[in-house]
Structure 1
Amino acid sequence: MFSESSPHASSSPDWPDLSFIQTDVHAHFLPGVDDGAKDLETSLILISGMKQMGYEKLIVTPHIKQRSFPNQAGDLKTRFSAWQAALQLHGISMKTILAAEYYLDDHFLQLVENGELLCFNSFSGRGYVLIEFSFHQPPERAEENIRLILDHAYIPVIAHPERYRYYHQQFYVYESFKTLGCLLQLNLNSLTGYYGTEEQTIALKLLRHGLIDYAGTDMHHVRHLHALKSLQQDPQLMKLLQDYPFQNMYL
């Protein structure tokens, strides 16, 4: 079930061809550490689907949120190594990198100051750190905290900005984040309407304004995986994605 004929196999006709993205920058494949894959079997199913869609590299981003998922970098590294070994044991060859999705709170800011973040890197050599906000209210002192992140030689990548409804009527905020030096990561399933029509509308607007840097799956479970199938039902959307200058391939 999990074997493959080639490490660079093309996507299956049952799945959208997302091989042009190459690298997923946001996903919860590491089993049993957050609200993502609940066990190894689920993780294997998800990664098999990613290969079917043509992905070549996965940046694994478990939640680090002190109140809900108080994960620590050292423990995640241990679990990640064991998980990589399990993938090999099951015949799945996939490049994987461990990072994290950090909730913007005081605990995270302390980790920033201590230089204790799990990042993914660009050719610039600066650590790219994936951050998320509350879905219910805008973060306090957002500009101040983003400047703190930048001052410590990290580049903040804001996860799924289209999902923060409190910004939907303040579209200029997205441009402000970019001006500050942030990068923006879009959830592909926002384009399918999975999270709602408001999120879908803003996701398309962000793309058409050229404000998005990275596409991510934010994969948690099999429902997310199968929701991606609907992308291929919209040829115009697929062309928009194929023509868009996502930066994923450079990671």
Structure 2
Amino acid sequence: MFSQSQTSSFPEFPDLSFLQTDIHAHFLPGVDDGVKDLETSLILISGMRQMGYQKLIVTPHIKLRSFPNRAGDLKTRFSAWQAALQLHGVSIKTLLAAEYYLDDHFLQLLENEELLCFDSFSGRGYVLIEFSFHQPPERAEESIRLVLDHAYIPVIAHPERYRYYHQQFHVYESFKAMGCLLQLNLNSLTGYYGTEEQAIALRLLHHGLIDYAGTDMHHVRHLQALKSLQQNPQLMKLLQDYPFQNMYI
């Protein structure tokens, strides 16, 4: 399935088998700023399997101005992609959800019950939501309450990457108090996104505010960056001992 050059390019992956499931990744080719072709998705999934993942939740962006994906179209493309994986002998379980940009378009989809969610053992629909990286979302609390009122659980993607909250740590606690769950990007811990993001990621873990760990995998560079996790035994122990909820999906 893979050439020797493809698989040998990524030796010594960290053992992340304790997570079991990745809830945030962009493996579906050609739909957003993630994977561009089937070959790349096969390489990335090979790396995920080497790290011990058993299930991958694929979460393409749905953002009206940048990635105006529709749920029906994504389902069709996802089914075709799954068939292609089977043809290449890939047996890992894959599920489709989405990463929604919090804006009026998302609220309309919410109202129309047109969301792609993942489920937990509780049976509730979990919705992955991202914010702007440049400014706080308008009416964030009001929007989150609407999500909860529709009986969904909002999962805030990579909260450590929103720098405007770094000096307002109480905001993370407020989101949790409202009923949100928080998803950490593992590469934030490697320093991939910057030292500020790395520091906040660690602080969120030490305060027990994180619920899920995700790769947010877009491309080979993300896969390569994850290798550096194993160079920090103390960090790996923190991750292994942390009560992530990934296994319950």
Q: TM-score, normalised by structure 2?
A: 0.96
Identity of aligned residues (%): 89
How far, CA to CA, are the matches of 1:19 and 1:129 in structure 2? 24
Structure 1 runs not aligned, ≥5 long:
4-11
Find the partner of 2:36 among 38, 42, 62: 38
Partners of 1:2 and 1:90 within 8 A in 2: no
1:149 match: secondary structure: helix
Shift of 1:66: 0.2
Partner of 2:153: 155
TM-fit CA distance, 1:2:
3.8
2:125 is aligned with 1:127? yes
Q: Which position in structure 2 is the counterpart of 1:181?
A: 179
In 2, Cα distance between equivalents of 1:13 and 1:239: 20
- Preserved CA contact (<8 Å) 1:120 1:127: yes
Distance 1:186 1:206 in 2: 9
Give CA deviations for 1:214-248 in whole Å, capped at 9, x if unaligned.
Answer: 00000000000000000000000000000000000
Aligned to 1:100: 98
- Picking from 209, 220, 223, the partner of 2:218 is 220
Q: CA separation in 2, counterparts of 1:2 and 1:101? A: 29
**How far is 1:13 from its partner?**
6.4
- Give the corresponding residue for 2:7: none
What amino acid is the match of 2:51? M
Alignment: residue pair count: 243
Rounded Cα–Cα distance in structure 2 between residues aligned with 1:202 and 1:182: 18
SS for the counterpart of 1:58 is strand
Residue type at the aligned position of 2:162: Y
Q: CA RMSD in A?
A: 1.1
- Output one character per residue of 1:128-171: Cα deviation in whole Å (capped at 9) or x when no partner: 00000000000001100000000001100000000000000000
Query: Residue 2 of structure 1 contacts residue 91 of structure 1 at CA under 8 Å; is this kept in 2?
Result: no
Equivalent positions of 1:1-251 (< 5 A) are: 1-2=1-2, 14-251=12-249
Per-residue deviation, 1:93: 0.5
The runs of at least 4 aligned residues of structure 1 exceeding 2 Å deviation read none
Q: State which drifts further: 172-181 or 117-126.
A: 117-126
- In structure 2, the gaps of 5 or more residues are 4-9
Q: Deviations over 1:28-81 (max 9, x none)?
A: 000000000000011111101000100000000000000000000000000000
CA–CA distance in 2 between the matches of 1:207 and 1:191?
10
Read off the aligned partner of 1:47 and give its amino acid letter: I
